[in-house]
Structures are given as C-alpha cells and as structure tokens.
Amino acid sequence: MLKIRLSRAGKKDNAFFRLVLTEHTAAAKHGYKKVLGFYNPFTKEFKIKDLEEIKKYLSNWVQLTPRVEKIMKANNIEL
C-alpha cells in the first residue's frame, strides 16, 4: 500500500521534512518514489508542489499518514 508521509532531512537541530509518496513498508528516508512537498516545523511553512497530483493519488487508494493529515488541516488544505 502506498502512503503519503514525512521524511526527515536537514542537519541535527535544524530539521525539515519532505512530503513523500512511498510504500508503507519502505524506509521513509531513502525508499520514496516521489517528493510531493516540504514542511519546516520551525517556521510552520508547508509547501505542496502540485495539489492536483496529490488529489489524484488519493483517489487511487493512496493514504495519508495521521501526521500529514493533521498538518494539512492546520494549513487549511482541503482534499
């Protein structure tokens, strides 16, 4: 099953996260298929490259992780 989840990147004490499409059993850091956006927890900045592409994935049995869903709701992104 494919999931859209966060993958940690950046330096120690200065992390940011990539929004990635990956198999649910694969490692989030290296096993992703596509980068869909970015999230910076320090500035609360959340950028999505293509919202229509994410909607297409969600209509084809891809799931969001609870953390990604919570971040999207906090940024008023409707899917």
pLDDT confidence of residue 78: 82
pLDDT confidence of residue 59: 92
Cβ neighbours of residue 28 closer than 8 Å, sequence gap 6 or more:
5, 6, 7, 8, 20, 22
Cβ atoms within 10 Å of 50's Cβ, excluding its own: 10
Could you identify the residue written with the tokens 């099953």?
1
Cβ atoms within 10 Å of 3's Cβ, excluding its own: 18
- Structural domains for the chain: 2-74 (3.30.1320.10)
Separation of alpha carbons 24 and 31, rounded Å:
10
pLDDT along the chain (79 residues), means of 10: 92 92 82 90 91 92 93 88
Cβ neighbours of residue 49 closer than 8 Å, sequence gap 6 or more:
35, 36, 37
